Amino acid sequence: MAAAFLLCPRLALPLRRGSRLLVSCSASASASSSGVGFVLRFHQSPFPQNRRRSCVVHLNDSIYDVTVWNRTESKCDPLLSLGAKFESSPARVASSCNVTFAMLADPESAAEVACGTNGAAEGMAPGKGYVDVSTVDDATSKLIGKHITSTGASFLEAPVSGSKKPAEDGLLIFLTAGDESLYKRVAPLLDVMGKSRFYLGGVGNGATMKLVVNMVMGSMMVSFAEGLLLSEKVGLDPNTIVEVISQGAINAPMFSLKGPSMVKAAYPTAFPLKHQQKDLRLALALAESVSQPIPTAAAANELYKVAKSLGLADHDFSAVIEALKAKVQSSQQ
């Protein structure tokens, strides 16, 4: 999800797939409020040219300049060309603003950027806030929160439901937990990028909610893929299956969006398969920790693992259908 949507509604920036950025917005001389920062990891493909605009945000009549960080500075070039500034570490970016947002690929990356050497925590201090938008397990979220709050700063976890298209349209759903005063403080920023936000209480609840949501999503996709393949096998038109489902009680936007491409064996990446499998893995660990059986999700996870072994990790998670195709081919040999 592009930093642009936190900075300006309907704004997207050109970013390379797999890049990891830290973006800070510091108030200009004419602004009346304090700076805001973003620590981000992007997996989307570059955004449309017609959505690219200057890296300046107008929030509550205040203007913010954008500062970015990446381990490879050249990956920031698309943002720098739009007027952003570069900083040399997460710590330096975080120290230049009052609130820092983080969005990383996995628990390891989230912890490293927040708590590692020259990490964002080193730039934190009383009065500052850290909002982690990464999808991680509750233990990692609590670890990051502990490091951040030890500096006197405030911590809020805020994983999102939604991928590339909702990010482009400002329709993400924020699942927040942690410091309630920080939640209220950053609410205007969340409203720029999202269509709704939930405050769920103590740290860990946001991470847990996101894992449950993505567990359901991953399992639904596997069932949908099975339906498409079965319909084709018995002589039905899978495109008609997509249409029928879209008009019934089990309709979900995901089916209408992904179905036509899946029928064509095309999987343009909105949410990488490797991240869906990671979330299922974390959900399984969560379920085990409370002795809750989730056999459907466990079976789905195995199929995503097969799809990864087929070289589909960076494809959209709808490519899990190829794992089912591979099972059919294997049984026929």
Task: Provide the annotated active-site residues.
Answer: 210
* Residues pairing with 64 in the sheet: 27, 57
Residues in the chain, total: 333
Q: Give the ranges where the chain is alpha helix by DSSP (H).
A: 4-7, 77-80, 90-95, 107-115, 138-149, 164-168, 180-193, 205-233, 238-246, 253-263, 273-289, 295-309, 321-332
* DSSP code per residue over 205-266: HHHHHHHHHHHHHHHHHHHHHHHHHHHHHTT--HHHHHHHHHTSTT--HHHHHHHHHHHTT-
- Residue 45, both tokens: 């493909």
Cβ neighbours, 10 Å, residue 274: 19
- Residue 121, both tokens: 């925590």
**CA 155 to CA 244: how far, in whole Å?**
45
Contact 143, 157 (CB under 8 A): no
List phi, psi (to 5°) of 202: -75, 160
292: CB partners within 8 A, 6+ apart = none
* Residues pairing with 132 in the sheet: 102, 157
